[in-house]
Amino acid sequence: MSSEPNGDLVFKALAHPFRRRLLDQIRDEPKTTGNLCEAHPGVDRCTVMQHLRILEEAGLVIAKREGRERWNHLNALPIKAISDRWISQYANHALSVLEMLSNDLA
- Return the amino acid letter for 51: H
Whether pLDDT at 8 is above 80: yes
* Residues 82-103: tens digit of each pLDDT: 888 887 777 777 777 778 878 8
- Return the amino acid letter for 93: H
Could you tell me how many helices (H) and strands (E) the chain has, helices first? 6, 3
CB neighbour list of residue 5: distance below 8 Å, 6 or more residues apart = none
CATH number 3.40.50.970 given to 5-76: no
Name the more confident of 93 and 25.
25
Whether pLDDT at 28 is above 90: yes
Whether pLDDT at 65 is above 60: yes
Residue ranges per structural domain of the chain: 5-76
Chain Cα centroid distance, residue 41: 22
